[in-house]
Structure 1
């Protein structure tokens, strides 16, 4: 048995590297959107290769974009019988595990430099407070996603960790969402719902409304204080839900809690205008 998690690493790119990351990230999602649109029109998956993709991206990155576009088409478009056509909005760039490396001070990736693919070393902060990242990154590595969150560049490395589950071990599966923040189900089909998606969306709308008023009044400090208050409220809700899940697990003599794979939870799609702001501002810590 194995579990896939995402290790987040803060990046400290130079000004020049930031420009290259922005260029690569924007082109990456443009390629995916273009390929998905073509597949929707033709009603079938693309057979294009990197040579058929006109983008200023390294071949390895083009190849990954083609894979991601096929995945979006099969899991979103075809599954919805063409009623949902996702459009990626948030700039992001992805490399497979054969096209990046790191030495715990830098991450090395291929980027386009003056029209040619060159490996670029970007300073990275791998050290966390308990050195947990060092241990996690010793396992099987998956894709590397680099994106910008709140002005900061972050690398997200997918890691597959083997689990040692013995016969008789009881497992609790937990699925995360917006309408219902968390749903837990045991192996004998006991189900419990946690949190209120309606309440969460109401509070998010309330905070956005107040923030809009303060923005018109140019009250910058008040907006910052409001943002801090919103984050505290969100973290409190997350903490209470996680505690309820643990209590439910204890009541049912659960040994392992397995979360859904969250590797691509921030991959931006316009599947619901009503939910998109809640998805991309919600706390994931």
Structure 2
């Protein structure tokens, strides 16, 4: 078994190297867009090789662009029956693992310089307080994807890590929500709450308030920067919560984590009118994905269950009741926090296909 992750590395190019990056990324997306347009017109995948593609790129990079164009055509264009014809705009260029090298201080990449393919060493900065990324990059490296984010050049390196699945039958049920970001319960009824829903809502209200003021002043760039800052903050919260959940699972010798299948979660999640804005801007799918990949790294299997009535069904007698405020009560005498009830039912709910949809 193996797990593929992406490690981000900050690039510190010189002025000359910036020009090479701009030229290569522009040529790369131009090749992809041209090939997609040709495939759409012919209604079939291209048979072109690097010799038939005219671009100021090394042949290996041309070959990668052809592969990417074919992938976009088959997964997006043909799958949508030609209703979706994407046009790439964001600067990007991709090299396979045989055409670059990384020594933790520099990335050596081939560029076309004066008509010839030459390797150029670009200074790279690997920022990681816990040395996690440093350890990850000791494993097998995959494709290198260089792009520009918020005016800065970033290298995204895919890393394949071998994993070993844990044996056993201990199951952890995890319920995701807004007021309580996550609740987990083990087979032996150990319960743990993760995240701070009130803090999350407070921070998001602050972002909305500042965005509203900037909107009145028509400061579009400031709004865009603020949106990026909010997304980074949300992503950081998801990373922390998912890490805590997996640590809890490891401590309790869990072999399987069960989550809700995320299809239509926004239509089924418990919420009030005042929480509606938070519901539609919170990425449940990202948190679920973070839990899954962190669990796989330590050998814990992740399964997805049917979420129907998990918050209403009594774990003791199977009767359905609606929770009052934060407390769930049943006529049989069972009484618990409603999010714990959800986690208990998720723990033993029917397992469905793990390919859940985005939320």
- Whether TM exceeds 0.5 here: the answer is yes
| Counterpart position of 1:22 | 22
* In 2, Cα distance between equivalents of 1:136 and 1:217: 38
| Counterpart position of 1:189 | none
* In 2, Cα distance between equivalents of 1:82 and 1:203: 42
**Larger RCO: 1 or 2 (CA < 8 Å, sep 6+):** 1
* In 1, Cα distance between equivalents of 2:130 and 2:247: 26
| Counterpart position of 1:213 | 216
- The equivalences for 1:155-234 within 5 A come to 155-168=155-168, 210-216=213-219, 230-231=230-231, 234=234
Residues 92-113 of structure 1 deviation map (CA, whole Å, 9 limit, x = unaligned): 0000000000111100000111
**Is it true that 1:41 corresponds to 2:32 in the alignment?**
no
| Counterpart position of 1:89 | 89
Query: Following TM superposition, by how much is the alpha carbon of 1:154 offset from its aligned partner in structure 2, in angstroms?
Result: 0.8
Q: Is the 2:211–2:226 contact (alpha carbons within 8 Å) kept by the matching residues of 1?
A: no
Range 83-92 or range 125-134, more displaced:
125-134
* In 2, Cα distance between equivalents of 1:112 and 1:258: 49
SS of 2:217's partner is helix
TM-score of the two chains, using structure 2 as the length reference:
0.55
Query: Following TM superposition, by how much is the alpha carbon of 1:61 offset from its aligned partner in structure 2, in angstroms?
Result: 0.6
* In 2, Cα distance between equivalents of 1:217 and 1:145: 28
| Counterpart position of 2:73 | 73
Q: Count residues with an aligned counterpart.
A: 244
- In the alignment, structure 1 segments of 5+ residues that lack a partner are 175-181, 183-194, 260-277
**Is it true that 1:105 corresponds to 2:74 in the alignment?**
no
Query: Following TM superposition, by how much is the alpha carbon of 1:82 offset from its aligned partner in structure 2, in angstroms?
Result: 1.5
Query: Following TM superposition, by how much is the alpha carbon of 1:255 offset from its aligned partner in structure 2, in angstroms?
Result: 3.3
* In 2, Cα distance between equivalents of 1:59 and 1:236: 38
* In 2, Cα distance between equivalents of 1:12 and 1:258: 42
TM-score of the two chains, using structure 1 as the length reference:
0.68
| Counterpart position of 2:8 | 8
Query: Following TM superposition, by how much is the alpha carbon of 1:210 offset from its aligned partner in structure 2, in angstroms?
Result: 4.4
Whose radius of gyration is greater, 1 or 2? 2
* In 2, Cα distance between equivalents of 1:230 and 1:87: 27
- In the alignment, structure 2 segments of 5+ residues that lack a partner are 175-181, 183-196, 260-281, 291-359
Range 128-137 or range 145-154, more displaced:
128-137
* In 2, Cα distance between equivalents of 1:217 and 1:86: 25
Residues 62-120 of structure 1 deviation map (CA, whole Å, 9 limit, x = unaligned): 00000000111111111112211111111100000000001111000001112221100
Query: What is the Cα-based RMSD across aligned positions, in Å?
Result: 4.6
Query: Following TM superposition, by how much is the alpha carbon of 1:132 offset from its aligned partner in structure 2, in angstroms?
Result: 1.9
